[in-house]
Each structure stands twice: as structure tokens, then as C-alpha cells.
């Protein structure tokens, strides 16, 4: 008997791979935006890019409108200085934990093309014992591109202001798990696109805005302008979130688990992000129940999503969050479950289908 395969899950993985492997730090999302636009085009009626760079694809419907937002940017770096020997010093763009950066291979995106480099620092062999125990900070790291000197680095194409991303490719783990860079939030984009694909096959009472937002990692900037322009009846931010199912983190810090389905946000950043209203929570929980979708409730003390800023736009836009539990967020080796991706997309669809009953 032939082995059964989940073609849709394979398609989801292929799309995630394409987006994860793409490059685009905050403010430089063009490569990612082009992929998302191409994927959304067959499933929507209208598409535009606003002045800040947000991609807005619209599925026409009734007077009610639902905004589905997923940010396109990834955390990365920017060239800030090249010394006389040709070593490149860099600034962070987004929330990095310095310890994850050392000895990584990176790509500098120059006008002449991609330039490979490695993040280096003073070797531990010549450190004193106490010094070697300390975490090396980014100020003591540099990038080696193999340049002979500063002039040679410029000749290769590297200039101050060039963006830098990690040189990583998506890889498969066991049990339909994958690992790669920028799953925060290329996973959210996949969920949004998959939801658009499913919704394109049905009539909806709501008009749906599928929005790829920019500059989320450095201040939720794109979501603010897009939400102000669209002024939707209700909004859902689709993103990644932190599980508590691996060593080094306790369940009391996060009760979420990878593989247990979508995480519905109740509150994040100790309420400094968003405290989701009861009506929005009821909408999401009932949508999961109706679709027979396993879900988890998320109350987190750290981090926030686009929902936090959309919620505060204009006179206030009812907003919620649907997230996928992802291990090792803001590192080169983020890990998530493809099954969770699929279930998250289904929950977004169910929410859109029932929005008219709540808003």
C-alpha cells in the first residue's frame, strides 16, 4: 500500500522555506514583500503597497471588514564602521541576545550583491579565566569578510548602512518540525497566505484585508499606519510566541507547547502590549470550537505583536492575536511545528467566517 502524504502540509513547508530563506530586516522588506504579493495575488481582488511599505491585499466582501496582519521584517544588523584592516563593525536591528551571534555566518547585502562574512571576536585562548566566563557583547564582535584592508572592503562592495542577515536555510527535523531563521514572522505570513487561499474558495460576509506589515521588530510601525488607513471593524495579528516546553524555561513562564495548536492571545507584555477584550476572545475561542481546532490560551509577560498598536489606532480597533508556539525565537535556529501552522490558518479562516456575528 502506498504511503499517504499530506500534500497541503508539503506546500505549506515549501512556502515557509521560501520565505524563511528570503532576507529583509526592518525597513528593507522588499524581497519578502515581492514573494508575499506573488502568493496572495491569485486569492485576492486588489493589491497595493502603501507609502511605508506595507503590502495590502483585499478580498472584497460586505461592509464589515477584517484585517489580518503579519509582519514581514526579520531582526538583523547594519554596517556601522569598517576599520583600516577591513573588519566590519555592526549595529543590531531588533532584539538580539548577543550570545547567539558569535561565530555565525552572515550575508551583507550590498549594491554589488551579497557578501558572505563570519562574526568573530577575540579568541578564548588568550583570555583570562574570569574573562572567558563572561558573555561576549556585540561591541566586541566584528565581521570578517576576508578583506585585505578598508579600501579592499569598499572594493568588495561593503559600505556603511548596508543591511546584514543570517546565512541560514530552513531544514526539517523529526515529527513535522522545522528549524530556520526568521520564522518570526515568516510563519505568520504563511498562515495569512494559507488562510487567503482557503477563503478565496468561498463567499464571505466580511471584506478581508491581508496585510504584510513592515518594521514590526523595531516598534510596530507598519501596523500603525496600515490600520489607520484601513480602519477595519476588527483585526487579528498573526505572529509567533514563546512556548514553555523545553529546558531552560518553566511552564509557569509560558504554558504553551509546540504541536498543541494555535495560541490565542489573552494578554501580552504584562498588559503593556494588549489586553484582548472579552468579545474578541469569545469570537476566537468559539471559532476554534466550531472548527474543531485545538487551541491554547496565551498570557505572556514579555513581547508584544502588531495587535498592540492596531488596538490603539483611531478611536480603538477591536484586536486579537493568533500565534504559533516557536522555540528559540530571535535566534538563527527557531523551531516550530508544520501541523501548528496548518491549524493556525484554519483558525484564521473560522474567525473570518464568523466575524459578522460578533462585530
pLDDT at 135: 78
How does pLDDT run across 71-126, given as a tens digit for each residue?
Answer: 999 999 999 999 999 999 999 999 999 989 989 999 999 999 999 999 998 777 77
Q: Cα angle at 29 between 26 and 30, to 5 degrees?
A: 155
Quote the CA–CA distance of 160 and 355 in Å, as a whole number: 48
Instruction: Write out the three cell numbers for 225.
Output: 499606519
Note the CATH number of domain 7-74+181-357. Answer: 3.40.630.10
Count of Cβ atoms closer than 10 Å to residue 128 Cβ: 7
Q: Please state, in angstroms and rounded to a whole number, the distance separating the CA atoms of residues 19 and 139.
A: 30
Mind giving me the DSSP string for 277-314? -HHHHHHHHHHHHHTT---EEEE-SS---HHHHHTTST
Residue 286 neighbours by CB under 8 Å, 6+ apart? 354
Residue 134 has pLDDT above 90, yes or no: no
Give percent of the chain above pLDDT 90.
88
Q: Radius of gyration of the chain from Cα atoms?
A: 21
With a CB cutoff of 8 Å and minimum separation 6, the contacts of 242 are 249, 254, 256, 300, 302, 303, 325, 326, 329
CB 324 within 8 A of CB 341: yes
Q: Which residues contact 280 (CB under 8 A, 6 or more apart)?
A: 234, 318, 319, 320, 358
**What would the pLDDT profile of 172-217 be if each residue is shown by its tens digit?**
999 999 999 999 999 999 999 999 999 999 999 999 999 999 999 9
Contacts with 81 (C-beta within 8 Å, 6 or more apart), sequence order? 88, 89, 160
Given a contact cutoff of 8 angstroms between Cβ atoms, the answer to whether 180 and 334 are in contact is yes
Higher pLDDT, 251 or 24: 24
pLDDT band, very low/low/confident/very high, at 345 (cuts 50, 70, 90): very high
CA distance 59 to 208: 5
Beta-carbon contacts of 139 under 8 Å, excluding residues fewer than 6 positions away, are: none
Q: What's the pLDDT score for residue 6?
A: 67
Catalytic residues: 216
DSSP summary character for residue 46: E
Angle at 317 between CA 314 and CA 323, to 5 degrees: 130
pLDDT tens digits, one per residue of 25-59: 999 999 999 999 999 999 999 999 999 999 999 99
Residue with cell 496565551: 298
**For the chain, domain boundaries:** 7-74+181-357, 76-166
Grid cell digits, residue 286: 468559539
Instruction: Measure the CA–CA gap between 89 and 164, rounded to whole angstroms.
Output: 11
At the topology level, CATH places domain 76-166 in: Elongation Factor Tu (Ef-tu); domain 3 (2.40.30)
Backbone angles phi, psi at 50, to 5 degrees: -80, 180
Q: Place 218 in a pLDDT band, splitting at 50, 70 and 90.
A: very high
Q: How far apart are CA 21 and CA 49, in angstroms?
A: 22
Amino acid at each position: 500500500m502506498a504511503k499517504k502524504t499530506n500534500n497541503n502540509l508539503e506546500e505549506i513547508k515549501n512556502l515557509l522555506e521560501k520565505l524563511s530563506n528570503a532576507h529583509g530586516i526592518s525597513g528593507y522588506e522588499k524581497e519578502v514583500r515581492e514573494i508575499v504579493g506573488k502568493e496572495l495575488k491569485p486569492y485576492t481582488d486588489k493589491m497595493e503597497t502603501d507609502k511605508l511599505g506595507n503590502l495590502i491585499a483585499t478580498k472584497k466582501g460586505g461592509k464589515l471588514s477584517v484585517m489580518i496582519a503579519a509582519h514581514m521584517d526579520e531582526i538583523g544588523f547594519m554596517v556601522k564602521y569598517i576599520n583600516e584592516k577591513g573588519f566590519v563593525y555592526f549595529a543590531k536591528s531588533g532584539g538580539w541576545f548577543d550570545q547567539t551571534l558569535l561565530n555565525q555566518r552572515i550575508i551583507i547585502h550590498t549594491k554589488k550583491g551579497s557578501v558572505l562574512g563570519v562574526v568573530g571576536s577575540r579568541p578564548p585562548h588568550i583570555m583570562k579565566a574570569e574573562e572567558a566566563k563572561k558573555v561576549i557583547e556585540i561591541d566586541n564582535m566584528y565581521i570578517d569578510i576576508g578583506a585585505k584592508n578598508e579600501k579592499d572592503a569598499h572594493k568588495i562592495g561593503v559600505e556603511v548602512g548596508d543591511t546584514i542577515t543570517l546565512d541560514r536555510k530552513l531544514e526539517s527535523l523529526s515529527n513535522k518540525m522545522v528549524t530556520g531563521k526568521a520564522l518570526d514572522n515568516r510563519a505568520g505570513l504563511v498562515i495569512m497566505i494559507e488562510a487567503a487561499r482557503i477563503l478565496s474558495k468561498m463567499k464571505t460576509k466580511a471584506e478581508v484585508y491581508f496585510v504584510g506589515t513592515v518594521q514590526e521588530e523595531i516598534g510596530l510601525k507598519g501596523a500603525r499606519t496600515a490600520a489607520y488607513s484601513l480602519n477595519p471593524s476588527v483585526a487579528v495579528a498573526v505572529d509567533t510566541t514563546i512556548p514553555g516546553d523545553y529546558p531552560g524555561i518553566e511552564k509557569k513562564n509560558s504554558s504553551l507547547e509546540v504541536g498543541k495548536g494555535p495560541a490565542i492571545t489573552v494578554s501580552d507584555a504584562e498588559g503593556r502590549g494588549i489586553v484582548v477584550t472579552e468579545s474578541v476572545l469569545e469570537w476566537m475561542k468559539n471559532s476554534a470550537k466550531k472548527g474543531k481546532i485545538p487551541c491554547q490560551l496565551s498570557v505572556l509577560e514579555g513581547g508584544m505583536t502588531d495587535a498592540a498598536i492596531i488596538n490603539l489606532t483611531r478611536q480603538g480597533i477591536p484586536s486579537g492575536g493568533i500565534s504559533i508556539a516557536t522555540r528559540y525565537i530571535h535566534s538563527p535556529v527557531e523551531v516550530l511545528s508544520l501541523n501548528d501552522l496548518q491549524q493556525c490558518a484554519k483558525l484564521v479562516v473560522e474567525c473570518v467566517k464568523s466575524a459578522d456575528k460578533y462585530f
